[in-house]
Structure formats: C-alpha cells, structure tokens
Amino acid sequence: MTSGVFEMMFGENVRGFEQLPQTIPHFIMESCRRNASKDLLNHKVNKHWIRFSGSKTAEKIKNLTLGLKALGVQKGDRVAIISENRPEWSLADLAILSLGAVTVPIFTTQAVEQIRYILEDSDSKILFVSGKRIFTHAEPAVSVVEKLEKVIFFDEDSKPDSNGKYLDFKELEQLGKKHSDDYDKIISQISSTDIATIIYTSGTTGEPKGVMLTHKNFTSNILAISNELPILKNDRSIAVLPLSHIFERCVFFVLCSNGVSIHYCSAFDQLSALLVEVRPTIMTAVPRLFEQVYHKIVKKGISAGGWKTKLFLWALEVGQKYWDAKEKKISVPATLSAKHAIADRLVFSKWRDGIGGKLRFFVSGGAPLSKKLSYAFWAAGIPILQGYGMTEGCIVSANRPYDHKTGSIGKPFKGIEMKIDDSTGEILVRGDNIMLGYYNKPEETAKVIDEEGWYHTGDIGYKDEDGHYYITDRLKDLFKLSNGKYIAPLQIESLLKQSPLISQVVVVGAGRKQVGALVVPDWLTLRQTLEEEGFDLKNLTNEELCDNPHVIKRVQKDAYELTKELSEYERVRRVYLLPREFSIDKGEITPTLKVKRSVIDEKYAEAIDEICGAA
C-alpha cells in the first residue's frame, strides 16, 4: 500500500533510492512547488491563524538561507535552535540544511548547564531562540559560549537592545532579500552523506552524546514511510511533540514532503482546543498523552452519576471484549457486535468528537502503551498505531492500519533490517536510517554499532511468527531482587498507568526483597475518588495525604489489582506516594520524559527500603 505521492513525483524510480534526490531541502522544496497555493504551515497566535502556503514557505526558506549565508554560515557549520513548536523552527531548520550546515536542536526544558554543554561541544556558530522567556532561561549559558557569533530571535520584540550579536528573524529575511545568489545552485552543493543534524541524547546516564544524522538517514525514512503508510495530500496534522525530538522532526519531514497541512501546537494545554478546531486526520503522540486523555474520559464518565455512569462502564467493558475478539481475528458474535454498535452511538462517538471527529489514525512512539488503553481507543474508532525509533536511527518500525497487532511495535519499514540477538534478547537494527556516529566520541560509537553495521538498541524484545516485533524492556533498566528474580520495570509501569489515580510511576526494588512503586498521584482524581468514597479530607495538603494510611491503601489497591495477573514476585503490593511530579530541573527525568532510574534509586533510597524491604 502506498500514498502514491512519490510515484507522481519521480515515476517508476520511487523504489530506487539512489536515483532520487537525497537531501531534505530537495524533498521539501518540491512539495512546496506542488502545493504552491495550499496552506502547509499553520500557527495560531493570539486567536488568529498565521498561515504559510507552499510558495510562501519556499520563499521564506530561500530568503533565510541567503541571510544565513550573508552572516558567514558555510557548509558544515553548526547552528542551534531552542524554541517551542512554531513555523519558524522548521523554516530555520530548512534554511540551515539548505546551506549544508548542521542543525543542533535543544529542548526548551533542558538545564542551563546542558544548554552550555551542547553549544560548546557542537561548536555552534549561531543560535536561534524563540523569545524572551526561553532566552531568559538560556542566557546564562549563551553568555559564556565564546564561539557563538550571533543570536537570532523569532519574536521581533525579544531582541536585546544595542548589541550587534543579536538580530531578529525578520532582519535575517531582509538580509537574505538583498542577495541574489542562486538558491538552487546552493542546495545542489549538498549530498546525501552530508551531516544534517547533531541531536544530543537526553542522557539517562552520563553526559549527553551528539548523534550525527545525515540527509540520507532522514530521506530514506521519508521514502519508506510515505510508501507504507496511507498518508494523503489532503491530510491535516497537529505537531504537538517537540520538534527538537527525533520523532516529531522525522514526522514533519515525512508529512511536509507529502503536502500535509501541519498545525503547530506550542504547549500541551492548547491541544484540546486545537483538536476540535483543526480536526486532524493523522497525528503523532506519546503514550502519556493517551493515558491523560483516557483518564479524563474515565473520570468524566464515572462522575456523570446514575444511569449515565452505568452506561459508560458498560460501553468500556463491551469495547474491551469487542476489540479483543477483533484482535484475535475470531468471529465477533452478533450480540457483541450489536452491543458495540449501541456503545459506539451513545458513548464512543463523543470520544471521536473530542478529537475533531476526522482522525484516521494516531502514530504512537517513545514508550509502550498498555493493551487495555489501546483496546479502548480502537474500540472507540480511534486507531493507534504503535511505532518504534530512536535518536540514533530515526523511525524504524510501526504497525500499519492493514497489519496491526496491539502491544507490538510492528514491522520494520522497507530498507531497514531488524533482528534479535540470540544471547541477550537485544533488538538490533541496520539500514540507511542508522546514524553516522556520536560526535567526537568514536569509542562510544564503537560500543553500539558493530563491525557488521548493526546498531545495538539497548531494548530487549522478541519477534512473533508473523514478523511483528515486541519490546519487553530496556536492557539497562532490568534489575534483580535479592532472591535473584529479574524484574522488567517498563511493562509493570505500563500496567500501573492504567489507573486514573496514578499520574507518574517508577517501579523499584533493585537488590531488595520485593517490588514496589514510587507513585505521583493524579491529585485531582484521587481527591475526588476519596471524597466519593466517604473519606473526609479536612483540607489536608498533598504532603499530608502522602502519609495518610487510608490514602496509601487506596492507591495500593489499584496497583495490586492491575498487577495481580503477573508472576507472584512481579506484583506491586506496596507504594510510596510523592506530592509532586518528577522533574527535569531536579534531574529526575530527561527532556524526553524518560526516568533517570539511577537518580531516583539514590534520591529515594530510604523510601524504597521502606516499601521493598532492605536487602
């Protein structure tokens, strides 16, 4: 199954990768040409939409490219970007790439010391910053980086006064307009093997490593995904994951190359309104987003009261049974189909309306999504295709709408090989998507890419008889109890997140007698649940609730129920409640929301001893 777009662009050569343009700007500019009058990039600012047609997008990219060239940016130079999602992020990225220069994305949530490290390690020459808020956070790092020549602000009113080091986006465009260099000649100088970006890993252990990705790493993804997922020219999407993340960046290149209309979401709290207004047809997200949406739906359904609550719970149960039968490819009983049709009309249709009512499918990545949540969304007519990728290898695999298995990461895209290491169970990947290596770290590169070109992902998994791959955990996250039993925390955490009472959870117990869980409750839902169950809160603070035996037992009840089907030694019987969410600033999670388990183990050692039993 193919989208047909690249056949139209390149005729029968679509599968002969070597015969096609091999740089990102070539693909994007061709899409701009084909979609000259269509609004490709869209961003809502102060209740008004700012829209860039294909021709306007191409014009801006050309002017920005020439502006950067006038500032002295040359092929191979590094240019950093730190900004929330907005069109300027993508336009700056594409201008940098057009010169053969290298984009260095930085998360807006990264600590000052990490920002300094990335700027210095990459030898970044220029930095793009969105506005005052982000610059105020980053300025202590920016001010000490000697090689940084210019800082360019997306917002005109954010540029500090009287300093030749600073200019704004509009000034850069105007500078480009003064030059008559041939843009097509400029991009003809870059090749598929040139480095396109250096993305610094979030660093769950040790200092961040700069992942060097070439144009071909991305364009091979553009071609493979475009030909294997049904992406349509009239699709609409919302870019909600940070563009500094490899997943959203790859997706942007794929969707923009296919002429999909992209709408930028600069903050998660804007998403609900944008979903209803934009009515996306295709979109990417991470499991945490689905978990939050599901819990809100459940909370609203249960709080309705009376027959409405009974109807809601009945619909959930019917949906689980219905999709379980569909997943197993067994004949769905007529009575169950009839019940599902009623549940769909009375309950699930409202779910679809809440996300715009036009969505054909979500693509989920970054972490496993529990089977229960997946079944609920699929039964509601909201398909979620789980995929798999990493900074070092872009997008590797995904389920397809026509070939889907809940819980799996699907099959690799064409041109990408995957296999399971016989001795360790580790997933290995090889293909044009795999990075060139870690910047200035050849020894680290040699640790993960073997002599045969296989990238060792660090993920443990298996392959089923139909060729679908599954991830069971991270190799480095596995831990052993004092009785010698190994625990895979990721899968247990996935189960616990099904509870509407739990916002964040880390499964612990390394070297201890039993498994436990550090839990940050969803305080609003927990308080409401406790009050409905007759518990008098008496204006207790979250900190006080964390120490209350009744509250602890209530969360423990959910934890045990959700893990009771596991082996005896894997079940979570005791939890330790925390009053606040794990923080990037405190070094507990990475900018991509991955838990730094070593930090958590050290920081909460006493609490872990309390619930898991000291060794």
Residue 340 CA to residue 337 CA, distance in Å, equals 5
Are the beta carbons of 493 and 501 closer than 8 angstroms? Answer: no
Q: Does the pLDDT of residue 314 top 50, yes or no?
A: yes
pLDDT tens by residue, 267-309:
888 998 999 999 999 999 888 888 888 888 888 888 888 899 9
Query: pLDDT class for 76, splitting at 50, 70, 90?
Result: very high
Would you say residue 14 has pLDDT above 50? no
**Neighbour count for residue 543 (Cβ, 10 Å):** 11
For residue range 376-434, list pLDDT tens digits in order: 999 999 999 999 999 999 999 999 998 999 999 999 999 999 999 999 999 999 999 99
Task: Provide the strand spans (E) within 373-415.
Answer: 384-390, 394-398, 411-412
Distance from C-alpha of 465 to C-alpha of 448, rounded to nearest angstrom: 27
The CA distances from residue 201 to 50, 106, 107, 407, 585, in Å, are: 32, 10, 11, 26, 16
Nearest to 20 by CA among 224, 289, 304: 224
Q: What is the pLDDT of residues 487-505, one digit of tens each?
A: 999 889 989 998 989 999 9
Q: In the 8-state DSSP scheme, what is residue 522?
A: -
Q: Are 314 and 336 in contact (CB under 8 A)?
A: no
pLDDT digits 0-9 by tens, 517-528:
999 999 988 998
E strand or H helix that includes residue 124: strand 124-129
Comparing CA positions, the residue from 30, 33, 28, 37 lying closest to residue 10 is 30
Side chain identity, residue 538:
K
> 10 falls in which pLDDT band (50, 70, 90)?
very low
R_g (Cα) of the chain, nearest Å: 25
Which structure tokens are listed for 527?
Answer: 């308080």
pLDDT of residue 5: 47
Find the angle CA(135)-CA(137)-CA(140) to the nearest 5 degrees. Answer: 90
Q: Is the pLDDT of residue 354 over 80?
A: yes
Please enumerate, as own/partner, the contacts of 540-543 that have beta carbons within 8 Å and a separation of 24 or more: 541/579, 542/579, 542/580, 543/579
Two tokens at 470?
């599954």
pLDDT at residue 204 in the model: 53
C-beta of residue 582 within 8 angstroms of C-beta of residue 506: yes
d(CA 352, CA 459): 34
Q: Of 196, 198, 237, which Cα lies nearest the Cα of 25?
A: 196
> β-strand 574-577 against 455-463: which pairing, if any?
unpaired
- Return phi, psi of residue 212, to 5°: -90, 115
pLDDT at 205: 54
| pTM of this structure | 0.89
User: From the CB of residue 440, how many other CB atoms can be counted at a distance below 10 Å?
Assistant: 14
Terminal-residue alpha carbon distance, the chain: 55
Residue 1: pLDDT band (50, 70, 90) is very low
| Average pLDDT value for residue range 444-453 | 96
Confidence of residue 203 (pLDDT cuts 50, 70, 90): low
Which token pair is 552?
Answer: 């602890």
Burial class (CB in 10 A: 0-12, 13-18, 19+), 603: middle
As a whole number, mean pLDDT of residues 38-59 equals 95
**362: pLDDT strictly greater than 70:** yes
Phi, psi of 195 (to 5 degrees): -70, 130
Q: How far is it, in rounded angstroms, from Cα 513 to Cα 168? A: 58
